[in-house]
Structure 1
Amino acid sequence: MNLTQLEYALTLERLGSFTEASKSLGMTQPALSLQIKNLENEIGISLFDRSKSRIEPTEQGLKFLMKASEIVTAGKQLKEYAITLGTEFSGTLRIGVIPTLSPYLVPLFADSLLTKYSDLSLEIHELLTEEILQQIRVGELDGGIISTPINRQGVVVTPLFYESFFLYQDKSKPYRTPPLQVAKIDLNELWLLDEGNCFRDQVNDICSFKEKQTHNQLSYHCNSIDSLIRMVDYHGGSTILPELTTLSLDSDQEQNLIPLEKKVREVGFVTRKMTGKEHLFELLNEEIKANVPSPMRTLNGREVVDPGIGEKWK
């Protein structure tokens, strides 16, 4: 068994196809199949269920591949750490950021961080929470900025800041005195992100939905908060916004905001244990906290809403 074989197996797990994995690795499909079979023979278990159209790990295979991912990632991190010994704050940070944060948060800190540390590079990927966690697990990302808290095996969480929630309604609605009680929101007029977004799960939790809401003839599925804002502006109704989103509204739109009761979403940085880039993570996290509005840096007695992230790797 060697690191190359483990990388082959992890690539096959990620792509779910011998054809796609062999293309990605630059080798023939029979050669990849032989390497995987040799690995399975050596360890004495079947790593993959080949009976389905998409190749998937067996139960034992998934456990083995999780440990293999840690070993392969540690090998890569050792090389990266050796590079950082020559220049203290250098290298590349590959960071995943959820769509409800990325357009509003990244512009706040990216330029200032890279100006201070000219030997550092940032690679930002806008992805859903589970995609970020999966790519951290297999070593494709160094870390992620997501809604926390979470309890996921092998994941280290560093809270960064806390966002209040706001109701954003069309201008025809009468203004209501803040803070607004959630019970007074007309759920039938509320535009929501599509299923699979943790912010959607948080809104569900806040509003205690019993069933999916509809808007008469129009059903709109999206992953963009900006899209929801435009739907309210042009079609009416309302939506719920996290605080950073409100910083990009114009003065007319700001008149349509009403703060909700004291519930917040916690935003945190997540990564694996012992990556070798902890000193770079510290720079990143401090730069983020320095560039968000100061009231967002402390919880100050407010209640954190559950982001609805499960405890196990998918």
Structure 2
Amino acid sequence: MEAIFSLALGFFVVFTLGAISGMFSERSGVVNLGIEGFMTIGALAYVSFCFMIKKTTNNYEDLHILYLIIGAIFSMVVAGIFSLLQTLMVLKLKTDQIISGTVINLLAQGIALFIVHIQGFGTGGTILGSISPKLLSFNYFVAYAVFTMLITVGIGLYFTFTKIGTRHIAAGENPNALDAAGVKVNKYRFICITISGAIAGLAGTMFVVTQSLQNFNGSVQGLGFIALAIMIIGQWRVNLIVMFSIVFSIMFSIGQKITGLNSLPRALPFIMSIVVMVIASKWSSPPQASGIPFDKTLR
């Protein structure tokens, strides 16, 4: 039972951070289909950091939590920088946001698969990035979940009670009214896309820590797309995102542990996410300006 609970906590962390990252971007009016790609880059950055630590020192286990924190920050920075490509395509070139998200996912996957197969860096198509097995203990999984909830609550308070959060929402609902008030809409969207990428990078780090035994084969196994589905089912609202993250985490953890039916149990949560998302789409109400490039002349 503890193993299933630990697995569920791990999925909860990844799903919640991934969905929150997408919501952070879309609340500003920019569709983010690139959650999977940003998570992949974050995971790659984290295991690369761990790999280099293991190469340079043999006395690392006593500082394993410090290295986790530094590696997580590094992954957020790298994913945030990678998100600048999204800002270029969406804000400068005004590329269709569905296409830009697809580009992010494909490019990130290509980069990750290339790097994990570099001789001397990857091992058989996998980067062995583990720092300490202690990071896989149940108590640490609880700590990851608590930390995720603190981030989630903080973002919820940001949207509800801060002036900046109100402007953030306005950028996704009525950007021309925000512009009329003298606020630079694209500046807000630039910042939101970058922060969104960084949060997704953190989700990628937590995928490596909680789901792949701290090794990385170039893929986050489609969990970024599940996070995207949770964001949509959760109606771009923090409380609903957390609720559905819990539901999907339980489904995935049970699916991982059930055996005897080939790979069907592992596939069922993905199938269920599609079914639920299709049903929920009938009542879906995304930010009104989501996916629409900002045009000052429409004011």
TM class by shorter chain equals: under 0.3
Please tell me whether Structure 1 or Structure 2 has the larger radius of gyration of its CA atoms: 1
The answer to which structure has the higher helix fraction is: 2
Question: What TM-score, normalized by structure 2, do the two folds share?
Answer: 0.22
Q: Larger relative CO (CA 8 A, sep 6+): 1 or 2? A: 2
Question: What TM-score, normalized by structure 1, do the two folds share?
Answer: 0.21
The answer to which structure has the higher strand fraction is: 1
